[in-house]
Amino acid sequence: MNAPHPAKVAGIDSMVPSPAHTVASAAPDASPVTGAAAPSAAVGPDAPGALLQDRLAGWVSDLTTLHELTERLVRTDTLSEALDEVLRAGAALVGARRGLVVLEPADGLGPDTTAGLGLGRADLGHLETVPRGCLSHGRILDGLPVGEDGVAEPDLLTDKSLDPRHREVAARLGYAASYALPLSVGGTAGTGPSNPGTAASAGSAGVPAGGPVVSAAGPRRLGAAVWFYDEPAEPGARPRHLAGLYARYAAQHLARLLEVERTRTAMATMAGELLPSRLPRVSGVQLAARHRTGPLGGGDWYDALPLPDAALGLAVGSVTGSGPSAVAAMGRLRASLRAYAVMEGEDPVAVLSDLELLLRLTEPARSATALFGYCEPALRRITLAGAGHSPPLLVGERRTEFVETSVSAPLGMLACWEAPSVELQAEPGETVLLYTDGLLHRTGDPADRAFARLHAAAAGVPRAVRHDPDAVAEHVLRTVLPGGKAEADSAEDVVLLAIRFA
């Protein structure tokens, strides 16, 4: 091959490694798409072999670039991360500095979201003042026909056919050109040419220039992406081709994350509807709760139920399994426990015994852990019974200790459940923490270390916020599960219920 020349893939940012090769100087009138010289430019007996090597080098370079970018994309786990990566990769491919991606699924089920690259909230607000039909990505979102290689607006400031408001906003934000691509899935049966005879004019990444074969159903729109140039500019044929391929791959990944996000939202909504919409106000105690669920939904629950004689029923529990069936079982179990608590709440052992019998009769394939407490706020006393559940944690000015409870099996594991109750006597200003095992399991530590971490987090609650159970619950949750573990996807639900005595 000849001496190295500048990279063939125009517009690729230096952040993406791209091997140098010789296509750019193969001939003065080389094709801007394939890099191949016109027949009249062939010189010498070795010219055809050199051109073939150059073309192969171009394909390898383009495929390497796409591989690097798609590898980074598939490592994203959330929609927000994926959208940010799409913007960065697209900017590198088309040689832009700023960009915007709008996720707006055509089925109307959401979620609708917007992400920007190099654009602040105020900039996004300015763009929203432009009539949607006047923006290139707005026309894509409205379902108007666009070319397969996107929509280029090479000189926004001098194009008098554009909406004046668009030109005004472009001048204010400091961009002079844009290039937009749709993000769509479905309707593409492959990457073969519509006419096999076009294979000779294949694009630089080895994909025939005839374009994808579109099914009769057509593509399903997810959204649109647009990148902005500081100066009048327009991406060449190769950057457009690579950006289009990348957008196709990115749309598939976004579609998968979209389904995960929808499932997570549906499960969280279902679980939220089965949990207390608000905690009761009872004289003598203050309550706060935290609940985190994974994308599939789980069976952890909590409850706080006013009972006769100014008492309060407190419960936390967990049903085995995940998904809609576990959420539904959790709802049935919680509703049953409420009924038993109203009838015999002053005897927590009887409440859990009734619940265990119901579980064996109606959910024979499931087991559950549960802890129920009959709270008397005026006496600052809680009578507790537990079934395979973690012990409560008492947090005060002079002590932070786990409450000793009797060892017992989970509900549904033995032919008949029975365990003695225990009494917890709190001092004024002390807080009792009830929690599910998911709080410990999400740490990833062995049980003894997880309990030690929880104890340390409770003991370290700042003195200034100990009067506020909501602040106590938040501090414990963030300390036990630092670095976003509380919000990260997990098969383990988390429930934390804080009860502070006046």
Residues 201-244: tens digit of each pLDDT: 333 333 333 333 333 455 789 999 999 999 999 999 999 999 99
Question: Residue 4: what pLDDT?
Answer: 43
Residue at 465 is within a domain: yes
Domain that holds residue 280: 275-501
Identify the residue with better confidence: 177 or 145: 177
Tell which residue, 362, 305, 322, 313, has the closest CA to residue 493.
Answer: 322
Of 40-44, 110-114, 223-227, 318-322, the least confident? 40-44
Least confident of 40-44, 278-282, 285-289, 474-478: 40-44
H-state helical runs in 345-436: 348-362
Tell me whether the omega of the peptide bond preceding residue 111 falls within 30 degrees of 0, making it cis.
yes
CATH number of the domain at 242, please: 3.30.450.40
Are 74 and 35 in the same domain?
Answer: yes
Indicate the pTM of the whole model: 0.63
Residues 47 and 108 in one domain: yes
Q: What share of the chain is helix, strand, coil (3-state, %, to 5)?
A: 40, 20, 40
pLDDT at 416 over 90: no
Report yes or no on 10 lying in a domain.
Answer: no
Q: What is the mean pLDDT of residues 58-82?
A: 91
Residue scoring higher pLDDT (10 or 173):
173
Q: Do 95 and 142 reside in the same domain of the chain?
A: yes
Highest mean pLDDT among 200-214, 259-273, 387-401: 387-401
Residues 237 and 316 in one domain: no
291 and 232 inside one domain: no
Which residues face 286 on adjacent strands? 500
Pair (158, 43) in one structural domain: yes
* Residue 110 covered by a domain: yes
Reply yes or no on whether the pLDDT at 436 is more than 60: yes
Judgement on whether residues 250 and 382 belong to the same structural domain of the protein: no
Domain assignment of residue 7, yes or no? no
88 near 100, Cβ under 8 Å?
no
- Domain with 448 in it: what CATH number? 3.60.40.10
pLDDT digits (tens, 9 = 90+) for 326-383: 888 999 999 999 999 999 999 999 999 999 999 988 888 899 999 999 999 999 999 9
- Does residue 227 sit in the same domain as residue 371? no
Are 84 and 224 contained in the same domain? yes
Note whether 256 and 368 are same-domain residues.
Answer: no
Domain count, the chain: 2
Burial class (CB in 10 A: 0-12, 13-18, 19+), 17: exposed
* Final residue before a domain boundary, out of 230, 245, 265: 265
Report the percentage of the chain scoring pLDDT > 90.
Answer: 59
Domain identity same for 318 and 460: yes
pLDDT above 70 covers what percent of the chain? 83
Lowest mean pLDDT among 208-217, 315-324, 424-433: 208-217
Same domain, 322 and 391: yes
pLDDT top residue among 17 and 499: 499
pLDDT bin (cut points 50, 70, 90) of residue 322 is confident
State the pLDDT at residue 415: 64
